[in-house]
Structure 1
Amino acid sequence: MSSLLEGRIAIVTGAGRGIGRAHALELARHGAQVVVNDHGVSLAGEGTGETPAEEVVAEIEAAGGTACVNTADVADFAQAEAMVRQAIEVYGGLDILVNNAGFVRDRMLVNTSEEEWDAVIRVLLKGHWAPLRHAGAYWRAEAKEGRQREARVINTSSGAGLQGSVGQSAYSAAKAGVAGLTLVAAQEMGRYGVRVNAIAPVAKTRMTEGAFDTSQMALPEDNSPVVAWLASVDAGDVTGRVIEIDGSTITVENGWAHGPSADAGARWQAADVGPALRDLLASAPTPEPVYGV
């Protein structure tokens, strides 16, 4: 067992299967004590009565690690708070939050129902914010009491949120929101010793099977070494970044940046906007293609 995360306490959400499971196993392998969260839902976010988190905890313990089960709905504000409190009460603190929980309900934009939109935004976006909100409050309180921790947050965005993905308007909007949340949290929480980054993982999971050709896709565990390092004390100089992981390739995403601009010197007249904007677009970089085009 590696000592990269020895003595550090982690929460991994959506850790019963797929990428989250791989993260939990990897963090434990490097010495972290892990709260393994999984609400036990289907791919569409519906309750199944299953407890996959128990299986992951058993696997960690069988390998000599330390872990416990949490079944909170991470988008429920009170349950997210209780999950953070569980880590503190069971292991004595919290150092690492890996926000991974999510599901998909793929639909073309005009076929998406209000219920489907709300469900995806709730779990993927609020499900990142609520645990981060409570973990952040704990870390701020610790810092103010002179016990500042080397805290790390690793959020989960997606290429769908960064470049867009046809048939995934709700998912793409939520994952873009996660990237934005990451930037803001990194700035607001930095004074308390918290470093906040996001990954955009590529992997063959139950979320991608059926939606894409997954025959050549990376495995869930291919993403987890990057998460383990970002969770370490060594990563203290890295924050506010989104990192895409595709098998053996890691890419630092640039995101939105100011491009060419023009100043009219006064309020723009509508008739002048077209020519000016076309000139700017001609000199601007070509956008990354949307997935599925």
Structure 2
Amino acid sequence: MSAVTDAAPAVASTNPFSQLIRDSLVVAKRNLIRMSRIPEMVIFGLIQPIMFVVLFAYVFGGSMNIAGSTDSSTYREFLMAGIFAQTVTFATAGAGAGIADDMHKGLIDRFRSLPMARGAVLTGRTLADLVQTALTLFVLAVVALLVGWRTHTNIGEVLGAFGLLLLAGYAFTWIGALIGLSVRTPEAATSGGLIWLFPVTFVSNAFVDSSRMTPWLRHIADWNPFSATVQACRVLFGNPGVSPSDAWPMQHPVWASAIYSVLIILIFRTLAVRKYRSDTA
């Protein structure tokens, strides 16, 4: 009896934030081990962005006019920030499908039976996806160097650009988490995760100069959070950018990218955790 009595204060005094971090890391480790045992998950995740690099660089590169130049090497430097940003945002579909699959197989019910922080399941999953995204970015950067992409700033700014990309990718995985919790099957999560990504990534400055769009469409593109991240990376990489715009995110892209990403995390993490709690209550 005394042993139980003595143990009670220790449990009661557990810091909820510390428990959330500890449980999130445990879930993240579980997902990383699962990824390592299914290497095709990582391989297939690398193929698509590499295809985009090769296709856009060599098929469209010679016909694009960027910064007054039609040189394909100029377009390749312009392109890579968009490809990097597209890669981290497309990880959203995988995050949503993974969570939907866990829900479908009843794994979430098993987590619910454990004495763990409720938000840890989602946080751990998104952290594991962030690690996979970082690996994909590294491989993609090597491929980009092979096709002629170069940076023209110092190492600190280059690392800052990749940091913004990872922050944006982590923010978008929370949108995927909410989608994964809101549908019944992994297939629906994958479809739902891609439908909205295509207009977000293509109505932007990722692949073309937004100044060539109609005025109302350029306004949307300039205020698109995705465009802010792309433009911030071009600034930090020292790569050619789009024509000047009066839109605040294009004037201050680094700050805009960071603010957008933090807001997305705060909003969609709150919604996703609330959805998770209501579904498993």
TM-score (ref. length: structure 2): 0.30
| Structure with more relative contact order (C-alpha pairs < 8 Å, separation 6 or more) | 2
- Structure number with the higher strand fraction is 1
Q: State the TM-score, normalized to the length of structure 1.
A: 0.29
